[in-house]
Amino acid sequence: MTSNKALWGGRFEQQTETSLQAFGASLPFDRRLWYCDILGSKAHAHMLGAQGIIPATDAQEIADGLDAIAAQIEAGDFVFDLVDEDIHMSIERALTAAIGDAGRRLHTGRSRNDQVATDFRLFCKAQAEALALRVNELRGVLIEVACDHPSVVMPGYTHLQKAQPLLFAHHLLAYYWMLARDFKRLVAAQDAADELPLGSAALAGTSYPLNRRQVADELGFAAVTANSLDAVSNRDFALDLLYACSVTMLHLSRLCEELILWSSSEFGFITLSDAYSTGSSIMPQKKNPDFAELVRGKTGRVFGDLQALLVTLKGLPLAYNKDMQEDKEGVFDAVDTLEASLRAVAGMLATMQVNAETMRAGALGGFMAATDLADFLVAKGMPFRDAHEVVGRIVLQAEKTGRTLQSFSLAELQAFSDVFDAEALAAIDIDKVVARRTTAGGTAPVQVAEQLNQARRQLAADTHLLQGVASATA
């Protein structure tokens, strides 16, 4: 019969107070680490057998027993009991119940401290890679939408006021480059988790002749940790992943804010698919960008996940403290939220309708060719400050009469300055205004075409990098 006594209960005369079992248990959430825990335990058992620390037959029996438990969990037949506190004890208890003394030998040369650090690093490595893949999928969608609308002109904004015209493709690619940086942060978070802490035991290492390198190789870690104290107390890798998730969510939130604005009747630049919108319970006409709003709203909780772990860790003495049990829920929440958000944003972009004529009409308003008109006067020899004043007076007149700059005739422009000639009308043509921005990284069609090529090359290289990391750890 299986005992209800905790596996560490040898020196205790009383069991944990009943109401505190649930308070102290991490099993309700860290059971998510079961697969990582089984992988780590199998590698540890293999090494113990290879080193002659336990009989090779026991090592094999342990590995087989762990595989059987994995099958049970996958089938939904495994019973989790709060008396076990965490996933590590839960699996070890089941293993011992199934195979007897061999199962009791599994924990030789390790502690839950280095065990959980190993499990959590395996989890963070896998999640960083999966999220990087999702980021790359969204980068690909941005490229596709930009390629589908190569000549659409839209207003660009500063202070949410119309500033200068630019290509819609150029605007989308701004988010591509944000996500390219997010990809690098996620890869860096994966690298930060890529050291094996197992073998550090509770804090000081162990007297058993462990082969840590063998375990690292089996689990796909690039290195073993250099200091046992740091190994069991380090959660920098989790902070790195949370930071990468936070910045990526920040970028998604900015993009969603624009999708929300652009889909409003006041803008009308895009129409979101019905599949990525919802209605109102009282107003039949409503079509709400709820999923874009949810991404924007969920960004705050991911920021909170990062802040929570920073505050948890800031005052902890070395080495392990029970406070560190609080490291996982925030990471679980952040990676789940980001993964769902990346899917939602990719779907919204891939299925939205781009209202090119509305965007172009918006680019004609707001006197966004004013800078080019001033530059025209400067090119004719007028000092910039004088040119700025002349064009400012033209804009004032246009504003008072409800006109665009493009509606002014040459004669009307010359009433403000005789420096204007027939070429001035070309200076304020919206397509020519965009085409003149030919500096590297500018919005001219020729530069946006080059930017798209650069984006494709970088995405291909990053995808290849991710595949290389995956194959190296398989």
Question: Which tens digits make up the pLDDT trace of 154-192?
Answer: 999 999 999 999 999 999 999 999 999 999 999 999 999
The pLDDT, as a whole number, for residue 22 is 76
Side-chain-facing half-sphere of 345: CA atoms under 13 Å:
37
What's the full length of the chain, in residues? 474
Return the structure tokens found at 196.
């094996």
* Cα distance between residue 176 and residue 459, in whole Å: 10
392-436: per-residue pLDDT in tens? 999 999 999 999 999 999 999 999 999 999 999 999 999 999 999
Measured between alpha carbons, how far is 40 from 316 in angstroms, rounded to an integer?
Answer: 26
Taking residues 388-395, report their average pLDDT: 96
Query: What is the structure's pLDDT at 1?
Result: 37
Beta carbons within 8 Å of 92's beta carbon, 6+ residues apart = 7, 41, 103, 106, 107
pLDDT for position 399: 92
**Segment 32-62, tens digit of pLDDT:** 999 999 999 999 999 999 999 999 999 999 9
The percentage of the chain sitting over the pLDDT mark of 70, rounded to a whole number, equals: 94
Give the global pTM.
0.92
Residue-level pLDDT at 468: 72
Is it the case that residue 222 has pLDDT exceeding 80?
yes
Between the CA of residue 350 and those of 178, 190, 272, 279, 334, what are the distances in Å? 18, 28, 10, 21, 24
User: Are 225 and 203 spatial neighbours (Cβ–Cβ below 8 Å)?
Assistant: no
pLDDT of residue 44: 98
| Parallel/antiparallel/unpaired status of strands 153-158 and 223-224 | unpaired
113-150+159-355, superfamily in CATH?
Fumarase/aspartase (Central domain) (1.20.200.10)
Q: What is the set of active-site residues?
A: 159, 280
| Burial degree of 207 (CB within 10 A; 0-12, 13-18, 19+) | exposed
- CATH 1.20.200.10 in the chain: give the residue spans: 113-150+159-355
Q: Name 223's bridge partners.
A: 195
Alpha-carbon gap, residue 127 to 299, rounded angstroms? 18
Give the mean pLDDT of 336-353: 98
Query: How many angstroms separate the CA atoms of 312 and 117, rounded?
Result: 16
**Which pLDDT value is given to residue 24?**
76
pLDDT in tens, 251-265: 999 999 999 999 999
pLDDT tens-digit series, residues 288-334: 999 999 999 999 999 999 999 999 999 999 999 999 999 999 999 99
Alpha carbon distance 278, 261 (integer Å): 16
Quote the pLDDT of residue 3: 53
pLDDT (tens digit per residue) in 112-138: 999 999 999 999 999 999 999 999 999
| Residue 152 to residue 172: CA distance in whole angstroms | 12
* C-alpha torsion angle, residues 136, 142, 143, 147 (rounded to 10): 160
Q: Amino acid letter at 245?
A: C
Distances (CA, A) of 352 to 72, 202, 237, 452, 455: 44, 54, 37, 20, 22
Is residue 165 within a helix (H) or strand (E), and if so which, with residue range?
Answer: strand 161-167
Return the CATH fold of 22-108: Fumarase C; Chain B, domain 1 (1.10.275)
Closest to 113 measured CA to CA, from 130, 88, 94, 134? 88
Distance CA 282, CA 280 (A): 5
Q: What is the pLDDT of residue 11?
A: 63
Whether 285 shows a pLDDT value over 90: the answer reads no
Q: Residues of CATH 1.10.40.30 domain(s) within the chain?
A: 370-428
Query: CA-CA distance, 174 to 156, in Å (whole number)?
Result: 12
Within the chain, all domains assigned CATH 1.10.275.10 are found at 22-108
Kindly report the CATH class assigned to 370-428: mainly alpha
- The conformational region for residue 395 under phi > 0 = left, psi -120 to 50 = alpha, else beta, is alpha
Position 2 confidence tier, pLDDT thresholds 50, 70, 90: very low
C-alpha span between 60 and 185 (Å, rounded)? 39
Query: 469: pLDDT confidence band, cut at 50, 70 and 90?
Result: low
What mean pLDDT do residues 81-88 have?
91
Mean pLDDT of 195-199: 98
For residue range 347-380, list pLDDT tens digits in order: 999 999 999 999 999 998 888 889 999 999 999 9
The CA distance from 470 to 18, in Å, is 44
Decide if pLDDT at 474 tops 60. Answer: no
CA distance 254 to 75: 41
